[in-house]
Amino acid sequence: MPFFTSLLPFVTAMLLALGLFAQAPDDDLLSELGDSEPTLLVNASFKTNRVINLHSLENTAPGVMDFKVSHRFGFVDQGIYDLFGLDNASMRLGFEFGLTNRLAAGFGRASYQKTYDGFIKYKILRQKTGAKSFPFTVAYISTVAIKTLKPQTDNPKHFFSSNLNYTHQLLIGRKFSDKLSLQVTPILVHRNLVPTLAIDNDIFFVALAGRMKLTKWVSINAEYIPKVSGRLDEKYRNSLSLGFDIETGGHVFQLHFTNSTSMSDHSIFTETVGDWAKGQIHFGFNISRVFTLWNK
């Protein structure tokens, strides 16, 4: 039985139990209107639902579609001949939908390894202030991706399932002030097919991310995704990214530098080859544009 299928009943039960537990305080909001200190949800921990590569604590609002265009140029160490990587690029187009106050879903297609991906995201617990405060936000994300790049050889023979990859993430974070938000994310990646027996199908990471607000419209973001357990090829490195978010009305521009070539979850974590010390860094950007599809 595939790893994802075997894990799904446990994850579903966990979400239902925690969702019911977390829902109770929200149901009491109306009863608190007469209190001197009502309970309020903490929002805008990050500018968008991405830090840089990582998913952030934020969800797309209910009834809203977030259209994302992500672009990543070549390594800057390629020099002036390739205009420091600008002659080469990969991209991803993504569509993300807010379904409820807690539930979001999305899909996309990346040119890197011709990858299609889809995800669901559920906010289990939400940071609150006031009479029934809660100190942090917890969200769960499950992603499935398939690489459609044709293999160079038929040995071993590739099946549809061979190209499937699964990622499970538990986002835990807190908005400490109007300027500072921090997030830690345990991540489990499962790949159905790996090149050799010396490489593990299951790899565990713990990502660290943060946002510092500089002005009303600009913030600086950073994320680091170290491997905690599991065996990868020695050429792969931990993903490290730095960037700026710039908000302009209905758009958010994210300008960043990263050593990760891919923009799909599993390969960001398990297939990063760039070395910051050698100038193997991509300049890239994400553009986010939201559209209201239906009323809440």
Per-residue burial over 38-57, b if 16 or more Cβ lie within 10 Å, else e, is ebeebeebbbbbbbbbbbbb
pLDDT value at 19 more than 60: no
Place of tokens 């939201």: 290
Dihedrals phi, psi of 25, to nearest 5 degrees: -60, -35
Dihedrals phi, psi of 54, to nearest 5 degrees: -70, 150
Residue 136 — very low, low, confident or very high, per pLDDT cuts 50/70/90?
Answer: very high
Give me the domain span that covers residue 162: 3-292
Query: How far apart (Å, rounded) are the C-alpha atoms in residues 85 and 119?
Result: 30
Q: Look at residue 36 in the predicted model and tell me its pLDDT.
A: 63
> Considering its fold, how many domains does the chain have in total?
1
* Residue 288 bridge partners (DSSP): 68, 252
**Secondary structure percentages of the chain, helix, strand, coil, to 5:** 15, 45, 35
pTM over 0.75? The answer is yes
Where does residue 99 rank: exposed (0-12), middle (13-18), buried (19+ CB within 10 A)? Answer: middle
pLDDT value at 207 more than 50: yes
Query: How far apart (Å, rounded) are the C-alpha atoms in residues 55 and 212?
Result: 17
Quick one: three-class SS letters along 56-111? CCCCCCECEEEEEEEEEEEEHHHCHHHCCCCCCEEEEEEEEEECCCCEEEEEEEEC
Residue 21 — very low, low, confident or very high, per pLDDT cuts 50/70/90?
Answer: very low
Q: Look at residue 250 in the predicted model and tell me its pLDDT.
A: 66
CATH of the domain at 159: 2.40.160.40
The answer to whether the Cα torsion of 258, 259, 264, 270 is positive or negative is: negative
Give the CB-side neighbour count of residue 67, counting CA atoms within 13 A.
7
Residue 121 — very low, low, confident or very high, per pLDDT cuts 50/70/90?
Answer: very high
Q: Are 265 and 167 in contact (CB under 8 A)?
A: yes
Mean pLDDT of 245-273: 90
Q: Which amino acid is present at 100?
A: T
What would you report as the CA-atom Rg of the chain, rounded to the nearest whole angstrom? Answer: 20
Biggest distance spanned by C-alpha atoms of the chain: 70
pLDDT value at 28 more than 70: no
Mean pLDDT of 68-82: 91
Query: How far apart (Å, rounded) are the C-alpha atoms in residues 243 and 221?
Result: 5
Q: Look at residue 6 in the predicted model and tell me its pLDDT.
A: 44
Nearest in space to 279 (alpha carbons), one of 76, 112, 120, 132 = 76
pLDDT, tens digit, for every residue of 175-201? 999 999 999 999 999 999 888 888 999
Mean pLDDT of 73-101: 91
Q: Look at residue 189 in the predicted model and tell me its pLDDT.
A: 96
Length of the chain in terms of residues written: 296
Report the percentage of the chain scoring pLDDT > 70.
85
DSSP 5: H
